[in-house]
Amino acid sequence: MSKLKFLYIFPHPDDESFGPAPVMYRSINEGHEVHLLTLTKGGATKVRHQFGYSIKEMGEIREQELHEVSKLIPFTSMTILNHQDGGMAKSNPILFEHIIKKHIEKIEPNIVVTYPIHGISGHHDHLACHAIVKRVYVDMKEKHNYLKRLAFLTIPTPDENKHVGGMYKVNTTRNKDVDCEITLNKNEVNILKKALDCYGTYSSVIKETNVINDIGNKVYFEFYNENFNPRVTSINGEIN
């Protein structure tokens, strides 16, 4: 398989660790390039009140926590922008479209990854990020051959008697719409735990969402405008 370039685009530091981290780790180990673009510093998170931090202070801590993750997962590049956290949904989307377009032109990724339409947690920045990235991708794909796939990190709808998200409500994707199911090995499950551990200020949320248990050894993606049944078993499955 030829060397590919992945660009993960998320609104907040920590979004990369709630599931994608071990997949990013695997891609790097397979010799691919993995780039991360984070649009805000995540300082507006409610957990800042637990510690009495201002948005700015919390953003600096979040940024530092993401730098810890990058020691674990050697991203090819990591860009943390400072757009007002919590405000992405309220900001002019054309501003973000422009930023994302410029970044895609610089990296020339083959696979772009972001949140699905439901944003998993439903955070409005996640929803805005989905809409903006999808719009930019579709627009650019016509002119740029390097763009091969748009993937959305997701969770499949569980059986009726099973609940995901701990004390939080999470949104899921119908099973038939999930295109990719990745089984993590033990070392990768460990990477997931270690990546989440980097977010010391978020340890209560990590516990309350039951995220480590829910993920177990599976990470799922939906692909834009592609349908795989059976599901592919790697994020670059069927791409050469």
Query: What is the binding site for Zn ion (CB under 5 A)?
Result: 12, 15
Q: Rounded CA gap, 114 and 129, in Å? A: 7
| CA-derived radius of gyration, the chain | 17
Q: Provide the minimum distance between the beta carbon of 11 and Zn ion in the complex, in angstroms, as a whole number.
A: 5
For Zn ion, the closer of residues 86 and 236 by Cβ is 86
For Zn ion, the closer of residues 17 and 27 by Cβ is 17
For Zn ion, the closer of residues 15 and 33 by Cβ is 15
Determine which helix (DSSP H) or strand (DSSP E) holds 132, and give its type and residue range: helix 124-141
Determine which helix (DSSP H) or strand (DSSP E) holds 104, and give its type and residue range: helix 93-107
Q: Provide the minimum distance between the beta carbon of 47 and Zn ion in the complex, in angstroms, as a whole number.
A: 12
Chain position whose Cβ is nearest to Zn ion: 12
CB burial string 23-59: b at 16+ within 10 A, e below: bbbbbbeeebbbbbbbbbbbbbbebbeeeebebeebb
Q: Provide the minimum distance between the beta carbon of 40 and Zn ion in the complex, in angstroms, as a whole number.
A: 9
For Zn ion, the closer of residues 15 and 179 by Cβ is 15
Q: Provide the minimum distance between the beta carbon of 39 and Zn ion in the complex, in angstroms, as a whole number.
A: 10
Q: Rounded CA gap, 198 and 132, in Å? A: 28
